[in-house]
Amino acid sequence: MDKYIKDFLGYCEIEKGHSDHTIKNYDHYLTRFNNWARANKIIKPEQIDLEVLKKYRLYLNRLKVLNKKTQGFHIIALRSFLKYLAQHDVKTLAAEKIELPDIPDRQITFMEENELDKLLSQPHTTKITDLRDKAILEVLFSTGLRVSELVKLNRDEINLNKNEFSVVGKGGKNRIVFLSKSALDALKNYLAKRFDKDKALFISHQNIGRDFKTKELKNQETKEKQNNNKSDDNIEKRTKENSQLRLTTRSVQRIVKKYAIAAGLNKKITPHTLRHSFGTDLLRSGADLRAVQQLLGHSSITTTQIYTHVTDEHLKEVHDAFHGQRREDLNTKKNK
């Protein structure tokens, strides 16, 4: 079983192009199954049948640390693994026989227009950190980027003469995102104040001016100069690949939280809340679901459909506010 799981994870990485996060989760879920199976003397795929699956589900359910949703993810991972085995002619339980559990609808948090205005207007000084934070907030809402995608951006990837750029998302997939005028202006204002040579688009300005080269990097540069006549090119390449100042995802999360508190917003606001607000805003304004899927970088349309629950509520509000209004006005006139 160990070998098959290892092969499956490699398949997920190479053939399916899954993200590191997804592969890590699959590894965790299948390792739990493998440990349980080994303890129950199930060491070969052909030993897995519906009775084994039933016992495993009971085991998961009795683990108090796992909620129903997480239990479901374990079964989904096992089902994918069994499907992989069948594709490679390994005798085991048919994946189609596994009934997937009902997973509760994912709840999303988003901001209304007035809340967005309050948040985006918080960084209001000409300090470079405020200009940076303003650009971060505007870009997050304008593009719907994941925070992991935002922090990986480099300056040379952004053309300030255009309102679009390409980003590499989950699974190494490229997509085009677009900048609103306010996001583009915020970026221009921030970058106009940048005099450093760091490649990252968003950096920490706390220690600007210091020598950020580590002792190890300095030693490596010296060694290359001694051993390689073309070492200058190698050093330049490595310097471009590494950023000593790049903001981390945690730093961006703190920045967003800071301004949400300053804006007096009662709900929990994270960078992902801005992504949800981006998707919700598009659908409420009449955007096509498929287009929103592409803009958000969702591999499946079902992921994007979580936003339809929100827009359905909005449609109800529209219906309540406007349906039958002309008839009511007519009746009011008659009564007068």
Residues designated as active site: 146, 170, 272, 275, 298, 307
Strand partners, 164: 178
For 29, other C-beta atoms within 10 Å of its C-beta total: 21
Round to whole Å and give the CA distance between 143 and 273. Answer: 13
For 287, other C-beta atoms within 10 Å of its C-beta total: 14
Round to whole Å and give the CA distance between 127 and 227. Answer: 45
The secondary structure of the chain in percent helix, strand, coil, rounded to multiples of 5, reads 60, 5, 35
H-helix or E-strand containing 174?
A: strand 174-178
Asked if 131 and 281 count as a contact pair (C-beta separation under 8 A), the reply is: no
Round to whole Å and give the CA distance between 235 and 225. Answer: 9
Find all residues with CB under 8 Å of 122, minimum gap 6, and list them.
Answer: 137, 259, 262, 263
Phi and psi angles of residue 112, each rounded to the nearest 5 degrees, phi first: -75, 170
Round to whole Å and give the CA distance between 300 and 227. Answer: 50
Handedness of CA 279, 282, 285, 288 (dihedral sign): negative
